[in-house]
């Protein structure tokens, strides 16, 4: 598949709904913090910071894992084509890159449960 099609068509179609949901949840959290400030006189912006931290904890490791998988995956397939006995090493490197995104997702879920 052409990389330009992937970059400019498919990636926004996947990322825009995710970003919309995250921004709607963050907007809701900010509105609750503003309402608490109006009622109590002191704002509860800790929830807003936790919401942004959860978004960053999910987004940045996923971006890093995607970049790592793209470079390590191509190198792993090239090495596997030349020497089939390198399958386990290649699989291990790609699996560790995927684990990075899973750890970020777990941290984001734990932060979101703290809200």
What confidence tens digit (pLDDT) does each residue in 84-103 have?
888 888 888 888 888 888 88
Per-residue model confidence (pLDDT) at position 66: 85
pTM: 0.59
Q: How many domains does the chain contain in total?
A: 1
**Whole-angstrom Cα distance, residue 39 to residue 34?**
9
4 assigned to some structural domain: no
pLDDT higher at 4 or 93: 93
Per-residue model confidence (pLDDT) at position 11: 62
Q: Give the range of the structural domain holding residue 90, as residue numbers without chain letter.
A: 22-114
Q: Which of the given ranges, 24-28, 40-44, 109-113, has the highest pLDDT on average?
A: 109-113
**Cα 42–Cα 20–Cα 66 angle in degrees, nearest 5:** 110
108 assigned to some structural domain: yes
């Amino acid at each position: 598949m052409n990389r330009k099609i992937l970059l400019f068509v498919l990636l926004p179609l996947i990322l825009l709904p995710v970003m919309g949901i995250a921004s709607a949840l963050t907007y809701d959290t900010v509105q609750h913090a503003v309402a608490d400030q109006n009622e109590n006189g002191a704002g509860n912006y800790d929830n807003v910071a936790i919401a942004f931290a959860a978004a960053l904890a999910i987004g940045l490791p996923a971006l890093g894992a995607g970049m790592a998988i793209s470079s390590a995956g191509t190198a792993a397939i090239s090495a596997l084509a030349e020497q089939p006995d390198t399958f386990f090493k290649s699989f291990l490197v790609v699996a560790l890159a995927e684990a990075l995104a899973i750890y970020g997702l777990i941290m984001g879920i734990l932060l979101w449960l703290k809200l």
